[in-house]
């Protein structure tokens, strides 16, 4: 009887650990599948047909078809520079530095990756519709109420996710070598909360 009970307990523990670690790897990634800097995470093999099984599972679960990773880089942030979750009731200042690429975009989603309905029907800005400042950087505000300049509405009562995409970067050496291209990543500063 003890042998059967031990087998059942061992099997249950093995299943829980196996499924839990697989869920974590698909949801959060690891040093083997992602690059991280501050609030930003990049799944560097997301567009690679030879990607690892965890990256493939993440792409399949999202339902999105990523562009080949040698052509596009995608970075996701769910927190600000201080590590606090991005919340719709707060006002954030985003500074996008001068990006050496053909095109970039900064899009705002809810925590599940869905666009946020808003009366302005505005969900993203890109290098084609933002005028940079004298230093070459673009300033974008995230807030529930209108702000001067470039403003993305956050809606109400939700956690947020920012997605920064860079298309045809002039130098992909950092990403190909497994290094996060820190110089191109936007900063996310919480200004205040309602």
The per-residue pLDDT for range 85-97, each reduced to its tens digit, is 999 999 999 999 9
Long-range contacts made by residues 23-32, C-beta under 8 angstroms, separation at least 24? 25/54, 26/54, 26/57, 26/58, 26/61, 27/58, 29/54, 29/55, 29/58, 30/54
Q: What is the Cα–Cα distance from 49 to 58, expressed in whole angstroms?
A: 13
Say whether pLDDT at 176 is over 70: no
User: What is the mean predicted confidence (pLDDT) over 41-60?
Assistant: 68
pTM comes to 0.80
- Residue for token digits 């596009």? 72
Q: Is the pLDDT of residue 82 over 70?
A: yes
Domain 32-193 of CATH type 2.60.120.600? yes
Q: What would the two tokens of residue 178 be?
A: 């497994």
Percent of the chain with pLDDT over 90: 34
pLDDT (average), residues 172-184: 61
- Mean per-residue pLDDT, 38-64: 70
Q: What average pLDDT does the segment 96-100 reach?
A: 90
């Amino acid at each position: 009887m003890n042998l059967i009970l031990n087998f059942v307990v061992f099997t249950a523990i093995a299943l829980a650990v196996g499924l839990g670690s697989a869920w974590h790897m698909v949801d959060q990634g690891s040093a083997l599948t992602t690059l991280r800097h501050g609030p930003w995470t990049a799944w560097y093999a997301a567009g690679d047909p030879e990607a690892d099984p965890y990256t493939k599972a993440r792409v399949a679960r999202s339902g999105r078809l990523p562009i080949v990773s040698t052509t596009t880089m995608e970075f996701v942030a769910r927190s600000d520079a201080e590590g606090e979750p991005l919340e719709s009731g707060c006002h954030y200042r985003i500074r996008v530095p001068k990006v050496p690429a053909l095109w970039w975009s900064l899009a705002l989603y809810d925590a599940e990756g869905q666009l946020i309905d808003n009366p302005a029907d505005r969900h993203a800005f890109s290098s084609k519709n933002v005028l940079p400042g004298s230093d070459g950087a673009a300033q974008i505000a995230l807030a529930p109420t209108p702000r001067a300049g470039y403003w993305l509405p956050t809606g109400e009562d939700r956690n947020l996710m920012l997605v920064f995409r860079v298309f045809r970067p002039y130098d992909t050496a950092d990403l190909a070598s497994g290094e996060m291209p820190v110089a191109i990543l936007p900063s996310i500063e919480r200004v205040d909360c309602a």
